[in-house]
């Protein structure tokens, strides 16, 4: 060398000690070394001499036990993981003996991989440029198993060059090549050195080391010989790349690469991926189906309540309890006069319908059925949304004249008349003739009661000619509007206590309720059932999450060398953590989407076969998919964290 310059690489007192339980194994024993910019250095030594360990320390793949390491005059051993990763990405390029190409990627994608971590735009174009320099323009879309050993090593060299590094570390670059390919690879490295790139190469072959301008021999962890060819001129006052770093937030390019990596991993292990997703599919499908069932039940009950009418208040007889807890001896009874008294308040009450009910036998020809009967007033259809589907409802005159007319429900009509028209025909109710004048609208089954299995006749006819009742069974009224329901209840309570002459200290001898009370009860019940069913279904989703965690641990183990490679070319811990979290999320979201299809299909099938009302809402779909993604992130975090904490060199050595 003609002149001493600021070294590009300088190590002082580097030691590497491995703890083997009761003893320590010292691999590097206080190495002092300077390498200047533009040198081509070959490090030689027998197996176990420490040459590869020194290479790994110089390449920031491993950390020494003690010592100092400077690149461009700056200490680098104290840098953070992100700063070290950036330095490996922008300053250092690696060429490995095993090539370390990712088998599921094309040559172009392998070369472009370091550009993702260095935030370089137009990655494909840059990768293609370096592949063309390596003479691989016709192999760009080939995968590693479609390339020869020499071609794979040229791809690895192109990958090492894409970020324009200052230094290339080559670990036995010809160790896996045929002798005919050795000269080809060494010529490439020599040309790179002539272009100004510093090359540090580990080899055990003297003919390969002869390509270098400087040969360092190591034995037992110490430099025993350092020889240089004469005439080497080093750049004076060389300016070294500043060690800086930018933002380490996930970029769209990284996200896209991690997403595609997840898809490639799933595609290469289709059956394993499907079995892993099976728990998520079943869990999400069950949750969606249960939510659909719960919402359908709630909607069905709300429809049934709506069919009863709006702003309704019901008054039914009941027993009062004496003070002290003894059972009451008084039973209330309602009369038509009570109903007329309630109807007197036109400001609060729009309709009043006293009614009686009972069970009867209806006969038409040779057909008969046991059904329920209601005696009502002409206000019934307006209050209960029961305007006849065909025919008409009875009028006040018919009620006053005790007319023998009837309006029947759909179930009764089907049982007695089949598909025929019942209007105008005469049926016998408890052996008395009634003429059918109308057919009620279908309302369906409400729990254990079929709302269409009913016959409605005039109130006076029911009380005086059919059932023989002196008192009405209940009084229903419709408030003027929703805001007057509470006022109507207060008014009725005071009025009935006065009419029944109840003392102040005595409880009501009647019960009063409105649709809001029933609606709240129904809503609370269906909500509780939906939550219960959802929790049961969620257990299977939990099992699916455990399955994802297990398979991600297997994936980390299988791809340990890939993790080491990614770290060697510039990936940070955060990048590796994010990559495996994305893969876990893609797995769980894919399972979630299939689960949505399963759940929606199950809901549709149940609604067709069992005639249940099931409602699949967009919010339940979003919630199910979101929940499945959360499961992937939560259960994938530990395997991802484990992957991110791997040492680059330990990962690369993993078998």
- Is there a single domain that holds both residue 296 and residue 444? no
- Residue 303 or 474, more confident: 474
∠ Cα 320 323 324 (to 5°): 125
Q: What tokens appear for 241 in the block?
A: 């790349």
Residue 432 in tokens: 């008395």
Stronger pLDDT, 229 or 29, i.e. the higher one:
29
Residue 313 lies in a domain: no
What are 114's two structure tokens?
Answer: 């370091």
Quick check: 578 and 254 in contact, CB under 8 A? yes
Is 322 a member of any domain?
no
Distances in whole angstroms, Cα of residue 83 to Cα of each of 61, 77, 159, 478: 13, 10, 21, 76
Indicate which CATH number applies to the domain containing 111: 3.40.50.300
Does 253 fall in a domain? no
C-alpha–C-alpha distance, residues 201 and 168, integer Å: 8
In percent, the amount of the chain with pLDDT more than 90 equals 29
Determine the pLDDT at residue 325. 46
Question: Residues 216, 126: one domain?
Answer: yes
Q: Which pLDDT value is given to residue 298? A: 66
Residue 324 lies in a domain: no
Q: Residue 385 and residue 304: Cα distance in Å, rounded?
A: 11
Is 507 within the bounds of a domain?
Answer: no
Is the pLDDT score of 410 beyond 50? yes
Estimate to the nearest angstrom the gap between the alpha carbon of 168 and the chain centroid: 43
Plot region of 391 (φ>0 → left; ψ -120 to 50 → alpha; else → beta): left
Which domain, by its residues, includes 19? 9-245
Q: What is the pairing mode between strands 349-364 and 214-219?
A: unpaired
* Under 8 Å between Cβ of 373 and 357: yes
Same domain for 98 and 20: yes
More confident residue, 308 or 229: 229
> What's the pLDDT band for 11 if we cut at 50, 70, 90?
very high
Tell whether 543 and 494 lie within a shared domain: no
Residue 568 and residue 639 share a domain:
yes
Is 249 a residue whose pLDDT tops 70? no
- Mean predicted confidence (pLDDT) in 391-404: 94
Shared domain check, 264 and 240: no
Q: Are 219 and 271 members of one domain? A: no
Q: Count how many domains the chain has.
A: 3
Whether pLDDT at 307 is above 60: no
User: pLDDT category, 460, cuts 50, 70, 90?
Assistant: very high
* Rounded average pLDDT over 219-235: 77
Give the pLDDT confidence score for residue 446 in this predicted structure. Answer: 52
Bridge partners of residue 43, in order along the sequence? 202, 216
**200 and 131 fall within a common domain:** yes
- The answer, yes or no, to whether residue 235 has pLDDT greater than 50, is no
Q: Are residues 224 and 298 in the same domain?
A: no
Mean pLDDT of the region 92-121: 86
Looking at per-residue pLDDT, the higher value among 17 and 636 belongs to 17
User: What does the DSSP assignment read for 103-126?
Assistant: TTS-HHHHHHHHHHHTT-SSHHHH
pLDDT, one tens digit per residue, over 313-323 is 888 887 544 33
Q: Whole-angstrom distance between the N-terminal and C-terminal Cα of the chain?
A: 42
pTM: 0.61
pLDDT at 301 over 50: yes
Same domain, yes or no, for 121 and 219?
yes
User: Mind listing the pLDDT tens digit for each residue in 473-498?
Assistant: 999 998 888 788 889 889 999 998 89
Residue 309, pLDDT score: 56
| pLDDT tens by residue, 548-567 | 788 788 878 888 888 888 88
Residue 508 maps to a domain: no
- Do residue 58 and residue 193 come from a single domain? yes
The pLDDT tens digits for 360-387 are 999 999 999 999 999 999 999 988 888 9
Poorest-pLDDT segment among 5-9, 128-132, 349-353, 437-441: 5-9
- Token pair for 463: 């009380």
Please provide the average confidence, as pLDDT, over all residues in the chain. 83
What's the whole-number mean pLDDT along residues 150-165? 89
Assign 424 a pLDDT band (cuts: 50, 70, 90): very high
Count of residues in the chain? 655
Residue at which a domain ends, from 446, 470, 499: 499
- Are residues 469 and 384 part of one domain? yes
* Domain limit, last residue, from 467, 499, 531: 499
């Amino acid at each position: 060398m003609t002149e001493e310059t600021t070294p590009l690489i300088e190590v002082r007192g580097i030691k590497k000690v491995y703890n083997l339980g009761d003893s320590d194994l010292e691999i590097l024993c206080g190495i002092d070394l300077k390498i200047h910019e533009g040198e081509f250095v070959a490090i030689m030594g027998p197996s176990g001499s420490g040459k590869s360990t020194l290479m790994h320390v110089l390449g920031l793949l491993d950390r020494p036990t003690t010592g100092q390491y400077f690149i461009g005059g700056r200490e680098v051993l104290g840098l953070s993981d992100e700063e070290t990763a950036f330095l490996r990405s922008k300053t250092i390029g690696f060429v490995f003996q095993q090539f370390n190409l990712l088998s599921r990627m094309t040559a172009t994608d392998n070369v472009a991989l370091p550009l993702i971590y260095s935030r370089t735009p137009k990655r494909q174009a840059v990768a293609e440029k370096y592949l063309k320099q390596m003479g691989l323009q016709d192999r760009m879309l080939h995968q590693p198993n479609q390339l020869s050993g020499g071609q794979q090593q040229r791809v690895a060299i192109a990958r090492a060059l894409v970020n324009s590094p200052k230094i290339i570390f080559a670990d036995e670059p010809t160790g896996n090549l045929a002798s005919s390919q050795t000269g080809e690879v060494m010529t490439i490295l020599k040309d790179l050195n002539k272009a100004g790139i510093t090359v540090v190469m580990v080899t055990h072959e003297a003919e390969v080391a002869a390509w270098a301008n400087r040969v360092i021999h190591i034995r037992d962890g110490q430099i025993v010989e350092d020889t240089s060819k004469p005439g080497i001129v080093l750049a004076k006052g060389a300016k070294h790349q500043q060690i800086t770093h930018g933002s380490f937030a996930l970029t769209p390019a990284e996200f896209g690469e991690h997403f595609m990596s997840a898809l490639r991993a799933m595609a290469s292990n289709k059956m394993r991926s499907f079995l892993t997703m099976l728990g998520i599919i079943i869990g999400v499908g069950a949750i969606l189906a249960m939510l659909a069932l719960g919402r359908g039940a709630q909607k069905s009950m709300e429809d049934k309540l709506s069919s009863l009418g709006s702003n309704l208040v019901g008054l039914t007889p009941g027993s009062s309890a004496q003070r002290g807890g003894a059972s009451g001896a008084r039973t209330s009874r309602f009369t038509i006069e009570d109903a007329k008294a309630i109807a007197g308040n036109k400001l609060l009450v729009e309709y009043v319908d006293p009614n009686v009910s009972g069970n009867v036998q209806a006969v038409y020809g040779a057909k008969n059925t046991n059904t329920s009967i209601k005696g009502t007033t002409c206000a019934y259809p307006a209050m209960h949304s029961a305007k006849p589907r065909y025919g008409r409802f009875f009028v006040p005159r018919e009620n006053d004249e005790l007319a023998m007319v009837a309006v029947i429900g759909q179930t009764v009509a089907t049982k007695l008349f089949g598909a025929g028209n019942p209007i105008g025909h005469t049926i016998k109710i408890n052996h008395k003739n009634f003429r059918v004048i109308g057919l009620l609208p279908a309302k369906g089954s409400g729990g254990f009661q079929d709302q269409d299995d009913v016959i409605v006749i005039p109130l006076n006819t029911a009380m005086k000619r059919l059932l023989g009742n002196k008192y009405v069974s209940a009084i229903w009224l419709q408030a003027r509007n929703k805001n007057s329901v509470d006022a109507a209840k207060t008014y009725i309570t005071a009025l009935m206590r006065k009419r029944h002459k109840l003392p102040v200290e005595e409880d009501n001898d009647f019960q009063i309720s409105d649709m809001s009370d029933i609606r709240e009860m129904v809503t609370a019940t269906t909500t509780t059932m939906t939550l219960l069913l959802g929790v049961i279904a969620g257990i299977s989703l939990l099992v699916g999450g455990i399955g994802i965690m297990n398979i991600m641990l297997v994936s980390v183990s299988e791809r340990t060398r890939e993790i080491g490679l990614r770290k060697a070319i510039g990936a940070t811990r955060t990048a590796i953590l994010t990559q495996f979290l994305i893969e876990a999320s893609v797995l769980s979201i894919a399972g979630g989407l299939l689960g949505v299809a399963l759940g929606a299909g199950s809901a549709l099938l149940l609604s067709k076969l069992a005639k249940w009302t099931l409602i699949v809402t967009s919010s339940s779909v979003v919630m199910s998919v979101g929940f499945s993604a959360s499961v992937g992130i939560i259960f994938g975090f530990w395997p991802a964290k484990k992957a991110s904490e791997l040492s680059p060199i330990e990962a690369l050595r993993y078998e």
